[in-house]
Amino acid sequence: MKRAGAYLAAVVLGLALGLGSALWLAGLWPARSNMAFGDIDVGGWRSDFAIGSKAADPYVRARVARHGLLALAKTEAVYFTRAADDTGAPLREGCSYRLSGGQMPAGWWSVTLYNAASMLPANTDGALSIDAERAGGGAWSAVIAPERPAGEGLWISSRGADTFDLTLRLYMPDVALLADPNTALTPPVIKRLSCGEGGA
Amino acid sequence: MKRWAGPLAALLATAAAAHALTLHFAPAVIMDRAMAALAARGIALHAFTTPQRVTPQAQSVVRSSPDLYYALCRYDLGDPAARLAVRMGVWPDYQSLAFFDARTDNFATLRGTGRQIAVRLLPPGSAPEAGAIVSPSAQGVILIRRLAPTAERFAAAAEAGKADACKLE
């Protein structure tokens, strides 16, 4: 009887461990919810070019299904995500940042802000992304902040986002980008400008 | 020590099996839930639904881009004789017609910048045909993306979308 109880406990514990570890490693556990993962890291921007394809491993597939459903395969678009600023601190609504970059190796690009649930934050600012058309050719910069900064520059609103990440979409990627992203891509730089009360 | 070997082996085997099964079934379960959510939000079966512009107040899929026009069509090719005719109308900027199966794989994408695209989607197991794509699963989603970063461009994309079609032959 005691032996049967030990086996029963082992099975129950094994189920819990297997389920929990799979959900955690695949980013499905509620507390771990961003897309800043993958085997490609270019200046802190993470990506996995297997997204959308059968080549994706089970962890990538599960994570993308939860946080990037209906993402395109790499020949059409690649996605990079970054959740930390230049100091390594998580991006959050209480701080303001300067995002700057230049031309991208793709036909069109955009940078969009998402909250921890992978959704656009619930504000009505109409300023949740910038794209190649608005940025123009050459060097560009934008402010990420919960309030519109003074002046006419580009702005991405973080109002209502709490902690957030940024997704860089590169549509119609250059062949060189797919072959060697670390060489072909100079990703946008995120510099923290200031933080409000309680900020570091 | 020896008496714990059996339960320990059972624990490890059960954990490994639960881990693998969770990962295996997670995409299909999530896709199934997403399909149900899309249906609940009015995304039609075998028809492209005219979309609203993506805003924080109107977003039905995670990580949608506010700069793109998305038109979705759910499909069910459970009948082996079914044929789905899919057409993407003309749009002068970037546009693509992407097919996703029940396990979230993007099994085909056709880029159609400045031109119309028409193709047939066939049930799994169908023989290949010219101008047709065989779906790996009976159910899935077709998604048209159009570059439309402003309200004016989005309105124009919606007008272009009147030429889109997704219907059983």
Q: How far apart are CA B108 and CA B8, in angstroms?
A: 45
Of A26, A72, A134, the CB nearest to B23: A26
Within-domain flag for A119: yes
In the numeric block, which tokens belong to residue B123?
Answer: 């049930």
User: What is the C-alpha separation between A157 and B22, in angstroms, rounded?
Assistant: 37
- Give CA separation, A106 vs A73, A117, B143, in Å: 14, 28, 21
Gyration radius of chain B's alpha carbons:
20
Residue type, B99: F
Give pLDDT, residue A68: 64
CB atoms inside a 10 Å sphere around CB B22: 22
Written as six digits, the tokens of A145 are: 């902040």
| Angstroms from B1 CA to nearest CA on chain A | 13
- A42 is a domain residue: yes
In a 10 Å sphere around its CB, with 0-12 CB exposed, 13-18 middle and 19+ buried, how is residue B139 labelled? middle
> What pLDDT is stored for residue A55 in this prediction?
62
Closest by CA position to B36, among listed B102, B83, B93: B102
Please indicate, yes or no, if residue A185 is contained in any of the structural domains: yes
Q: How confident is the model over B33-60, as pLDDT tens digits?
A: 777 777 777 788 999 988 889 999 988 7
Chain A residues whose beta carbon lies within 8 Å of the beta carbon of residue B140: none
Report the pLDDT value the prediction gives residue A54, as an integer from 0 to 100.
65
Question: What CATH number does residue A148 fall under?
Answer: 2.60.120.600
Residue A167 in contact with partner chain B when CB distance is under 8 A: yes
Which residue blocks in chain A are alpha helix, DSSP H? Answer: 2-25, 58-67, 132-135, 175-179, 181-184
| CA distance to partner chain B, nearest, from residue A104 (Å) | 16
Nearest C-alpha in B relative to A8: B7
- Kindly state whether residue A25 falls inside one of the protein's structural domains: no
- Of A12-26, A29-43, A160-174, B64-78, the one with minimum mean pLDDT is A29-43
Position A89 in a domain:
yes
What single string gives the DSSP state of each residue in B10-49?
HHHHHHHHHHHHHHHHHHHHHHHHHHHHHHHTTPPBSSPB
CA nearest to A47, candidates A90, A91, A77: A77
Which distant-in-sequence residues (6+ apart) come within 8 Å of A61 by Cβ? B23, B26, B27, B103, B104
For residue A161, what are its two tokens? Answer: 């986002």
On whether the pTM is more than 0.90, the answer is no
Q: Quick: pLDDT tens for A58-84.
A: 776 676 666 667 888 889 999 999 999
Q: Which residue has 């962890």 as its token pair?
A: A59
pLDDT over threshold 90, residue B131: yes
Q: Torsions phi, psi of A82, nearest 5?
A: -135, 135
Q: Which tens digits make up the pLDDT trace of B117-129?
A: 999 999 999 999 9
| Structural domains in chain B, sorted by start | 1-169 (2.60.40)
- Once rounded to an integer, what is the mean pLDDT over residues A178-199? 89
* Closest chain B CA to residue A66: B30
Quote the domain boundaries for residue A131: 35-56+73-195
DSSP code, position B128: P
Q: Cβ(B108)–Cβ(B118) under 8 Å?
A: no
Is the Cβ pair A10, B8 closer than 8 Å?
yes
Q: Is residue A27 part of a domain?
A: no
Bridge partners for A131 per DSSP: A110
The token duo for B122 is 């066939």
Q: How many CB pairs under 8 A join A and B?
A: 173
Q: Rounded to 10 degrees, what is the CA torsion of B150, B156, B162, B164?
A: -60
Of the candidates B143, B166, B146, the residue with the CA atom closest to the CA atom of residue B156: B146
Residue B13 CB neighbour total at 10 angstroms:
14
Q: Which residue's entry shows tokens 């159910």?
A: B139
Q: How many domains does chain A have?
A: 1
On whether residue A97 sits in a domain, the answer given is: yes
The Cα–Cα gap between A82 and A90 comes to: 9
The predicted structure's pLDDT at residue A199: 43
pLDDT reading at B158 higher than 90: yes
- Between A67 and A126, name the one with better pLDDT: A126
Q: Is residue B107 within 8 Å of residue B119, measured between CB atoms?
A: no
Q: Does the distance separating the beta carbons of B98 and A72 come in below 8 Å?
A: yes
Question: Which of A54, A131, A171 lies closest to B105 in CB terms?
Answer: A54
Give this complex's ipTM. Answer: 0.79
Which of A93, A103, A193 is closest to A143 using CA atoms?
A193
pLDDT over 50 (residue A5): yes
- A9 falls within a domain: no
